[in-house]
Amino acid sequence: MNQRSLVVVSAGLSQPSSTRLLADQLSAAVVTEAGGHGLSLDVRVVELRDLAHDIANHLLTGFPPADLKEALDAVAAADGVIAVTPIFTAGYSGLFKSFFDVLDKDALTDKPVLIAATAGTARHSLALEHALRPLFAYLRAVVVPTAVFAASDDWGSDSVEGPLRSRIDRAATELTREMERRDPVSVTDPFALTMSFEDLLKN
């Protein structure tokens, strides 16, 4: 099986979090879909709630604390990203935006991204299209066509297996297709020695 890495960014604040629940359902669907295409996924979840102070410190100092740096590096090295935010005041949450503000502006270039959101009401579902999609377009990510929105009503027993389920599955298929058609991401270390130490001494 070919190996790929999937990073799931979840910006929910509640515990338990409906945003995390949606993120988990999306990643499970992508793992299943990818498995059917001969891809084995290494999944890493980045809970922004746990990094909130680090993100604020990075914004203030310009330097990422270790845990945040590790999360930012994981996103940059991922073959695919699932990004899920709660809707706050008709848009993405401030924490979600701040994480992508401190991410290197080239880190998502040509990277397949699945966008999703949770909210109290379905009235704000277009926030995915007028807020999240432009953000990731600016970062030159390849955002899959299906964006997944789950309002409180979607978590009712019928709809979890109905419309929400089919949106999750369709988005998972689209993300898998984009990951499959690309070579695995290889991150080069700018400080790595490109020649032997012996050769280096000769120059």
Ligand X SMILES: Cc1cc2nc3c(=O)[nH]c(=O)nc-3n(C[C@H](O)[C@H](O)[C@H](O)COP(=O)(O)O)c2cc1C
- Taking a C-beta distance cutoff of 8 angstroms, is the pair 15, 50 a contact? no
Kind plus residue range of the DSSP H or E element containing 73: helix 66-77
- Taking a C-beta distance cutoff of 8 angstroms, is the pair 157, 176 a contact? no
In the complex, the smallest distance separating the C-beta of residue 21 from ligand X, rounded to whole angstroms, is 8
The reply on whether position 120 binds ligand X by CB under 6 A is yes
The reply on whether position 124 binds ligand X by CB under 6 A is yes
**Residue nearer to ligand X on the CB measure, 52 or 185:** 52
In the complex, the smallest distance separating the C-beta of residue 7 from ligand X, rounded to whole angstroms, is 18
**Residue nearer to ligand X on the CB measure, 136 or 149:** 149
- Taking a C-beta distance cutoff of 8 angstroms, is the pair 43, 27 a contact? yes
**Residue nearer to ligand X on the CB measure, 2 or 152:** 152
In the complex, the smallest distance separating the C-beta of residue 127 from ligand X, rounded to whole angstroms, is 8
DSSP state of 184: P
Find how far residue 127's CA is from the centre of its chain.
17
Q: Which residue is nearest to ligand X (CB)?
A: 12
DSSP state of 130: I
- Tokens coding 122: 């379905």
User: Segment contacting ligand X (CB under 6 A): 11-19, 33-41, 98-106, 135-143?
Assistant: 11-19
Tell me the one-letter amino acid at 199: D
The residues facing 85 across adjacent strands are: 117
The reply on whether position 167 binds ligand X by CB under 6 A is no
**Segment 60 to 119, residues that bind ligand X, using CB under 6 A:** 86-90, 118-119
**In 10 A of CB 138, how many CB atoms?**
11
Among 5, 19, 25, 98, indicate the residue that binds ligand X (CB under 6 A). 19
Interacting residues with ligand X (CB under 6 A):
12-14, 17-19, 86-90, 118-121, 124
